[in-house]
């Protein structure tokens, strides 16, 4: 495999089996012994193929329910694929409103655990620890359990860990909705200065402005299929047409 490729997906497919009517109680189950819950198959991804180079920022657009989030979860290795071939070169991190954090742990513990999951050694976390706390503006609450945090504080902490620790391949699902305006400005600045330069990023967004600004190549999805993958302006055009 070429060294500069971060991710290869060939003909990957993902189908969810959804039970429409689940019998949750014993009584319900007994009365419906011969009437099992109906199952429905939902094809979330159909034969999707794409490759992402190292250091590239890729956009991912499409209407609600088109399979963007499923694709991102499959590419990040969180969901297994049903069909096709997927090769991930390096650690991945999926980020939507927060990264994986336990509400039973303090901010300090979460920083160490999350950064460690992302592949950093303890000594490396020691070095960036203050930076993470300062960026998240949580200096006074380092040793507080995050279950006592407001949702904005949790999101800021998650964002800050992601910014400063980072994985080899970052999947960002609508991340610019985090925090208040002041924090968003800061987030955009960091995003531009540290992620665009050097990191492999897959950016999911409904903001065409953001996608056009940062991504050279963009994937446009519709009903679980990858309709177009290439120049951003063309993908945006297709998306806009679909929205009319």
Question: Where on the chain is the footprint of another protein (CB under 8 A)?
Answer: 16, 73, 76-80, 88, 91-95, 99-102, 104-105, 109, 112-113, 116-122, 167
Interhelix angle 181-190/151-164, rounded to 10 degrees, is 10
80: helix, strand or coil: coil
* CB-CB contact of 15 with 44 (8 Å): yes
Rounded least distance, CB 120 to another protein, Å:
6
Rounded least distance, CB 63 to another protein, Å:
22
Measured distance CA(159)–CA(163) in Å, rounded: 6
Of 157 and 235, which CB lies nearer to another protein in the complex structure?
157
* CB-CB contact of 93 with 168 (8 Å): no
Rounded least distance, CB 239 to another protein, Å:
26
Q: Considering only CA atoms, which of 62, 75, 61, 59 is closest in space to residue 217?
A: 59
Of 39 and 121, which CB lies nearer to another protein in the complex structure?
121
Measured distance CA(204)–CA(15) in Å, rounded: 21
Rounded least distance, CB 36 to another protein, Å:
15
DSSP assignment letter at 58:
E
Of 137 and 168, which CB lies nearer to another protein in the complex structure?
168
Of 46 and 108, which CB lies nearer to another protein in the complex structure?
108
Q: Considering only CA atoms, which of 50, 58, 65, 56 is closest in space to residue 10?
A: 50
Of 55 and 90, which CB lies nearer to another protein in the complex structure?
90
Rounded least distance, CB 113 to another protein, Å:
7
């Amino acid at each position: 495999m070429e060294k500069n490729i971060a991710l290869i997906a060939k003909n990957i497919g993902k189908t969810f089996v959804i039970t429409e009517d689940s019998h949750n109680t014993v009584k319900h189950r007994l009365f419906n012994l011969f009437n099992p819950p109906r199952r429905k198959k939902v094809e979330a991804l159909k034969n999707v193929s794409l490759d992402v180079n190292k250091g590239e920022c890729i956009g991912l657009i499409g209407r609600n329910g088109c399979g963007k989030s499923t694709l991102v979860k499959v590419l990040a290795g969180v969901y297994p694929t049903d069909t096709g071939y997927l090769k991930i070169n390096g650690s991945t991190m999926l980020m939507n409103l927060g990264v994986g954090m336990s509400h039973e742990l303090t901010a300090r513990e979460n920083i160490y655990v999350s950064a460690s999951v992302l592949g950093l050694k303890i000594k490396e976390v020691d070095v960036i620890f203050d930076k993470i706390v300062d960026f998240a503006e949580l200096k006074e609450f380092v040793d507080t359990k995050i279950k006592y945090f407001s949702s904005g504080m949790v999101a800021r902490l998650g964002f800050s860990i992601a910014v400063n620790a980072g994985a080899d391949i970052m999947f960002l699902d609508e991340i610019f909705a985090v925090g208040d305006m002041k924090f968003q400005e800061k987030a955009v600045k960091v995003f531009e200065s540290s992620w665009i330069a050097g990191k492999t990023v897959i950016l999911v967004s409904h903001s065409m402005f953001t996608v056009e600004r940062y991504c050279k190549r963009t994937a446009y999805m519709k009903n679980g299929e990858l309709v177009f993958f290439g120049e951003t302006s063309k993908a945006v055009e297709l998306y806009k047409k679909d929205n009319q």
